[in-house]
Structure formats: structure tokens, C-alpha cells
Amino acid sequence: MRVTRESLIRIAKETAHERAYNDRDIIAAYLTGSLASDQIDPMLGGAADIDIILVHATEPKHRREFVRLTSDFHVDISHRAKAEFKRPRELRLDPWLGWEMYDPMLLFEREKFFEFVQAGLRAGFEFNAPAPALQRSRMVLKDARQFWRELLDINDMLTPQDVLRYMKSLYLAVNAVAELSGPPLQERRLLLEFPSRAEAAQRPGMTAGLYSLLGASSLDGATLNSWLPDWRFAFEAATESSRVDSHIHPVRLNYYEKAIQSILAGDNPRAALWSLLQTWTLAAEVLPDHALDAWRSACGQLGLTAAGIEEHVNGLDHFLDEVEGLLDDLSTQHGLETSASM
């Protein structure tokens, strides 16, 4: 069967209507992610997911689930409670849910939920005007700084949890920049799409800074490709653990692997690093210590070691300062308050 964007959207609609028919607690459903946008090709490496949000009248019993369609396609269903949307105007300043609800594709609604929320979200000003965009970015940057602080007390041995905190802070810092000109960047495309967001913010040098903070300034595609077998082994082993993060799920193996392979075969193979390292580290978090040698070796080549982490953390500190300076410059340019006066 030939899979197209249109056929995946049809599956999304059918899934939403079937779920709503069998569960009267579902009051609305909408499509988000790359599939909902006609500006992005959802097929990265020939694999894609279908991101559906189901809104419940009451608190849902679980928050996330995956439904396998084929080895290359699956449905990623998130469950939200109606109460999360009870103050639509406040969503305008929510850096995550605000973008999610700003322009998704409506799949189903049992009541005028969607119209009500979007009317409040869009009322009064442009969603991406300087003031709300800067406020959302500052919220993301504040969270990035909090994760950075947690890195100041790392012990003698660097753990997967330490690397995840480091990447979380960096991810948030990147999105504090990205949110100035569009929705937050997601993991598979983060290093592919950040350069254009940095250009839009008139800070193109931030892209080189990001690669440096990942220890990837001189990384080549051959090295990344050599890590794939160990990455796959760790991913598959971690799916057996009940404690593993929801990103590490059997139906998502091809979703990540084919995207990584596609990027490795492209003009900028280093852009595969983010997805590879993040998922590998999430897998490492639940694996026994004796199974971490390959992960530690890869981290060592990136400088993510007990001996090298201080330099990375200091570099992250400077990167966060640079992002804060950018937001302050934009605030001054638009006659808004800067962080120093807030």
C-alpha cells in the first residue's frame, strides 16, 4: 500500500471517530505535529507517526499510547482533560499547549469545544506578536536555566540522568530561540531546523554553538553510523523495562532509526546526533551498568564524561546567557520590558 500524507490523515480521522464512538467521555480530537502542517514532509526516512490529541470531559485514565499500523507508521495518541483548556486566553502565553492549539487540524468534536478555545486563544492580539512570543520564550529559558542549575552538583561519575538533564536544558534553550519565529522544534528534526530559526533571530552563530555544546564540532557521519548497532541493541533492550520513558517503545524503533539513517545519508549527517543521543540515553537510563559500555564510549567521544562535563556546563551557561541577551535586545527593540526589569 502506498502511504501518503492524505492516507495518514484519513487514518487519523477514522481513529478519532472510532475512539469517540466507543468512549462518550471524549469530547474532541485534533491532529498536531508535522502531519498537520503542509509545510513539512512528515515522512523522514520513510517513517512517520500520526500525532492525535484526544480531549476528555474528565481526567483520562492514561496520558499516552501508541498504536502500530506498520513497521514504519504508528499512531501516537495523547490524552488531555478538558480542564487543561478552561482558560483559553492563558494558553496564548503557554509555549507548548498554546502552539499545539493554535492551528491544529480538527478531527472530531462533540460540543463547541474547539471553537471556544481557539476564540480565546486568538482574541485581542496576534499570537506571534513580539510581546507574547518573547514572554513564551522567557518561560522556556527559565526552565532551561533551572535544569542547568541541577548540573552544578554532578558527582564523580556521569550518569545517563546527568546527560538527560544536560540535553533537556539545551533543548529548552534551543526552543527559547525557536519559539520567536514558530512552534517548538521536535527531536527528530531539531538539528535540521534550528539553523533557520537561528537565522530568523539574526543569531546564525548559535548553530555552531549548539554543535559545540553537543561535542559534535568535528563529528563525522561515519562515527555516527558506527554507533547505530549499539544504539539499536540498547533501544530494543530498554523496551523490556516498565520504567523506560515513553519515547522508547517498540513501535517507535523504525521511526527513529530510519530518520537517523536518512539524515546520515544527507548533506549534514551530524544533524542525526540529537535524536540518536537522546533516545540512546533514555534507553541507558534503565539498562544495567554492565550494558552501558558502548553508550559511555560514544559519550566519551562527545566529551560528555565526568572529566569533561564541567566545560560543557560552563559552555551551556554562556549559551543561556546569549539567549537571554537576544531576548533582552528584542524586548528593547520593541519597547518591552527586559529580563533585568521584570
CA-to-CA dists, residue 19 to 24, 54, 184, angstroms:
9, 9, 28
Last residue of a domain, one of 102, 122, 142: 122
Domain-embedded: residue 285:
yes
Same domain, 31 and 96: yes
Residue 125, pLDDT score: 65
Whether 49 has a pLDDT exceeding 50, the answer reads yes
Same domain, 89 and 202: no
Same domain, 73 and 189: no
Mean pLDDT of 31-57: 92
Q: Among residues 263, 270, 313, which one has the least CA distance to residue 162?
A: 313
How high is the mean pLDDT of the chain?
94
Query: pLDDT, tens digit, for every residue of 161-208?
Result: 999 999 999 999 999 999 999 999 999 999 999 999 999 999 999 999
Domain-embedded: residue 334:
no
Whether 342 has a pLDDT exceeding 50, the answer reads no
SS3 54: strand
Same domain, 205 and 99: no
Domains held by the chain: number: 2
- Domain that includes residue 291, residue range: 130-323
CATH number, domain containing residue 26: 3.30.460.10
Q: pLDDT category, 97, cuts 50, 70, 90? A: very high
Domain-embedded: residue 256:
yes
Whether 341 has a pLDDT exceeding 50, the answer reads no
Whether 42 has a pLDDT exceeding 60, the answer reads yes
Same domain, 53 and 176: no
Domain-embedded: residue 296:
yes
> Do 45 and 258 touch, CB atoms closer than 8 A?
yes
Same domain, 180 and 107: no
Same domain, 294 and 145: yes
Same domain, 99 and 175: no
Mean pLDDT of 148-152: 94
Domain-embedded: residue 335:
no
Mean pLDDT of 61-67: 95
Same domain, 110 and 236: no
Same domain, 92 and 213: no
Same domain, 15 and 52: yes
Mean pLDDT of 264-270: 96
Residue 124, pLDDT score: 62
Pick from 40-49, 200-209, 294-303: least confident: 40-49
Cα gap 161→260, rounded to integer Å:
23
Same domain, 100 and 39: yes
Domain-embedded: residue 84:
yes
Whether 37 has a pLDDT exceeding 70, the answer reads yes
Alpha carbon 229 to its chain's center: 24
